[in-house]
Structure 1
Amino acid sequence: MKLWRRASGALKDRNSIWLASLSLRTTLRNPNIESAVIKATSHDESYVDYRNAQRVFAWIRMSPTYLKPFVWALCMRMDKTRSWVVALKGLMLMHGVFCCRVPAVQRIGRLPFDLSNFKDGHMNPVKAWGYNAFVRAYYAFLDQKSEFIFMDFQESKGRLLIKEEQQQPIMLQELERLQKLQSLLDMLFQIKPQAECMNMGLILEAIDCVIIEIYDIYSRICNAISRVLVMIYSAGKVEAIMALRVLQKAIVQGEELSFYFEFSRDIGVLNASECPKVQKIPQEDIRELERIINGVSQKPNMNHEDNDSTSGLRTIITNNWEVFDDDLIRVNNNIGEETTSSSDIGKNTVSENPFAASNFTFPALQVDGNNGGIPDLISFL
């Protein structure tokens, strides 16, 4: 049965590539891009075509005019498929496009396809539910990430017009943005195998991409919290209440992060083998915020410093809270810098896209860790 399913999938892919080669080149269709998308999202669960995935990334970096044909080709592929393998590869491909950090990607908004109710049509429902849940969780995260990038891109234009003395609106925006980042982190925690016999190469590679995304978002949360704590003594009660909720949420997420890394190591995810130790937030910081809310606190001397060494940067909040210390993640926590826009997601923490970040070896292909790199920023036409 499995051999027949693989043969059927290979035949479908070949027919799709042949039909794509017959299509006319227009502003929405590009036969070369369509063929690359089909090959990168093949039905073969034991093989990932990184070569064609990198071709797609190179086209999008080259010119934003290639983004529309790519989105059209991927939408057609996702709307027609009933295979969890094709759906998951398509989501990984879309995730890689986000990591290209091309300005045109910021304007996509919500994903133009819907996998929120995805169901595999080729497996027994008893066996397929775990794969269906994995695809739905991955889609839910990417959909919200795409919307967050779009909204943050729109809001970043307005931030440039805010004067430096208007600290309260900036503080509120920073806290609201922190809450959105924490929501994205919660969605990332949901992307994990929930059924037995799911520890296969494609699933592990997808979690590898998720681990890289967690590195990025968690470091940005730590960075933002450091800025908030420095400014909190000049803020009002409303901001202090929001900051307290953010810190309480950060405590819970720190524990969930440790559990997720431990779970990923147990199932053999490569990037989880070198995860940093998560430092907990001291209760003294929580009590200090509560005193600010009650109006009984005075501004202390805040110690905010960068310890630069050859191994990495260390972010320190107050005298007893070490937020992040990891050789893999560079945290930029200069107090006076502007709020980083979502177009810079991963710029400070991840230098390569998810396809190039892993050394996991599939039966038919070893991932090349040198592919990728930071693309040039290209203006949207």
Structure 2
Amino acid sequence: MRLWQRLAGALKDKNSVWAAQLSRRTSFRNPDLEAAVIKATSHDRNRIDCKNVQRVFQWVRTSPLYLKPLIWALTMRMQKTRSWIVALKGLMLMHGIYCCDLAAVRKMGRLPFDLTHFCDEHLDPYKAFAYDAFVRSYFAYLDQKSAFVCMEFHKQSKHGKKTEETLIEELEKLQAMQDLIDMLLRIKPDHLNSREGLILEAMDCVIVELFDVYSKFCKGIARALLRIYDIGGKMEASVGLKVLQKAAIHSGQLSIYFDFCREIGVLNASQCPKMERFPEGYIQDLDRIINGVDEKENLKGDHHEEDKAIVPCVNAIVCKDEHKGADGLKTVITEKWEVFDDQIVFDDRTKPAFSTNPFEDSYTYSIVPYHAVHNQVLPDLISF
């Protein structure tokens, strides 16, 4: 039965490519680009055509004029399909397009297609349920992320990069990022499909995304706390307290999520060390501000005498273990107090050493583009 489905899917893809190549070139349609999208989102569940995936990314990076025919082709593909394989590959392709970080993509807004009620019509309903749920949760995150990115783009265009956000705006942005983290944590395979190769590839993309969002959140909460201690009132401290309380919950949820991903064999999850528990000191400080206890000087201490702030830090460092060979890695946890400049600087050169696409050994591509370098761990809120 599976062989027949594979043959039927291959025939559908071949007919779609043939129809696309015969189509008329317009401002909305590009036959070559449309054919590449079809090949990149084929019905083959055992491999991803990374060559055509990268061709799509190269078209988008070449000129924003290619974005309109690309979105049209992908939208038509997503609206017509009733295969979870095609739908999931299309979502990963859309995810990669957002990772290209182009202005034309950032201002696009919500996704142009809707998979909220997606159902696979080629599987038994009992088996299809797990795949449908995975596709829907992945779509829900990308749709919400698209709206968030568009909102931030228009906000920067309106106020300009030189205009600093108010403290309340910064805290609201952090709450929106926490909502994104919640939606990412819902993207989780069921026991029926947890060993599916395409699902594991999608989970690799999710891990990369979760690392990126959580890293940005950590940087944002560090800046927000310093501003609350410096100029914040009771209202700002109250919102900040809600953010920290939810962040403490996320710390435990992330640890469980990464452990689950390691168990099912998600390659990128193996690069993330175990999460450390979030310290209670910051929550207690915000409680004092909300309750009207005048300890602002105690919160700042003498750290601002030289325009510096001291924050507790637990560093998790991934380094080479001489006892495990040249490629062996171990996690070293150190507890100490560190002094940082008031304007915290994070080195963007350090990113996780994520894996390449497990389906295509002949290509060193991933369906979601990233720049892989070594010696980086998943940051936690305690590493301000």
Tell me the residue number matched to 2:186: 190
Tell me the residue number matched to 1:248: 245
Aligned counterpart in structure 2 of residue 225 of structure 1, from 221, 225, 241:
221
Q: Does 1:172 align with 2:168?
A: yes
Name the amino acid aligned to 2:213.
I
C-alpha distance in 2 between matches for 1:283 and 1:157 = 38
Tell me the residue number matched to 1:128: 128
Gap runs ≥5 in structure 1: 306-315, 341-346, 375-381
Tell me the residue number matched to 1:285: 282
Q: Judging changes above 3 Å, is the alpha-carbon distance between structure 1 residues 223 and 348 closer, same or farther for their aligned structure 2 residues?
A: farther
Q: CA deviation at 1:197?
A: 4.1
Q: Judging changes above 3 Å, is the alpha-carbon distance between structure 1 residues 138 and 259 closer, same or farther for their aligned structure 2 residues?
A: same
% of aligned pairs identical? 50
Q: Does 1:358 align with 2:350?
A: no
Q: How does 1:285-304 map to 2 (within 5 A)?
A: 285-296=282-293, 297-299=295-297, 300-301=299-300
Alpha carbons 1:78, 1:113 under 8 Å: kept: yes
Q: CA deviation at 1:278?
A: 2.0
Alpha carbons 1:219, 1:349 under 8 Å: kept: no
Q: Does 1:63 align with 2:74?
A: no
Q: Judging changes above 3 Å, is the alpha-carbon distance between structure 1 residues 284 and 162 closer, same or farther for their aligned structure 2 residues?
A: same
Q: Judging changes above 3 Å, is the alpha-carbon distance between structure 1 residues 348 and 157 closer, same or farther for their aligned structure 2 residues?
A: farther
Q: Does 1:368 align with 2:364?
A: yes
C-alpha distance in 2 between matches for 1:252 and 1:367 = 39
Q: CA deviation at 1:196?
A: 2.0
CA-based RMSD: 2.9
C-alpha distance in 2 between matches for 1:207 and 1:15 = 30
C-alpha distance in 2 between matches for 1:219 and 1:293 = 27
Q: CA deviation at 1:80?
A: 0.2
Aligned to 1:320, the other structure's residue is in SS state: strand
Tell me the residue number matched to 1:137: 137
C-alpha distance in 1 between matches for 2:266 and 2:22 = 40
Q: CA deviation at 1:25?
A: 0.8
C-alpha distance in 2 between matches for 1:303 and 1:95 = 46
Q: CA deviation at 1:157?
A: 2.5
Aligned to 1:13, the other structure's residue is in SS state: helix
Name the amino acid aligned to 2:181.
L
C-alpha distance in 2 between matches for 1:33 and 1:53 = 10
Tell me the residue number matched to 1:207: 203
Tell me the residue number matched to 2:95: 95
Q: CA deviation at 1:284?
A: 1.5
Alpha carbons 1:270, 1:360 under 8 Å: kept: no
Taking structure 2 as the reference length, the TM-score comes to: 0.83
Taking structure 1 as the reference length, the TM-score comes to: 0.83
Q: Judging changes above 3 Å, is the alpha-carbon distance between structure 1 residues 102 and 27 closer, same or farther for their aligned structure 2 residues?
A: same
Q: Greater shift after overlay, 292-301 or 78-87?
A: 292-301
Tell me the residue number matched to 1:378: none
Q: CA deviation at 1:295?
A: 1.4
Alpha carbons 2:37, 2:53 under 8 Å: kept: yes
The higher-RCO structure (CA 8 Å, 6+ apart) is 1
Aligned residue-pair number: 345
Tell me the residue number matched to 2:381: none
C-alpha distance in 2 between matches for 1:158 and 1:326 = 41
Larger Rg, first or second structure (1 or 2): 2
C-alpha distance in 2 between matches for 1:264 and 1:373 = 20
C-alpha distance in 1 between matches for 2:160 and 2:343 = 14
Aligned to 2:122, the other structure's residue is in SS state: coil
Alpha carbons 1:79, 1:113 under 8 Å: kept: yes
Alpha carbons 2:193, 2:199 under 8 Å: kept: no
Q: Does 1:258 align with 2:250?
A: no
**What do residues 43-94 of structure 1 show as CA deviations (whole Å, max 9, x unaligned)?**
0000100000000000000000000000000000000000000000000000
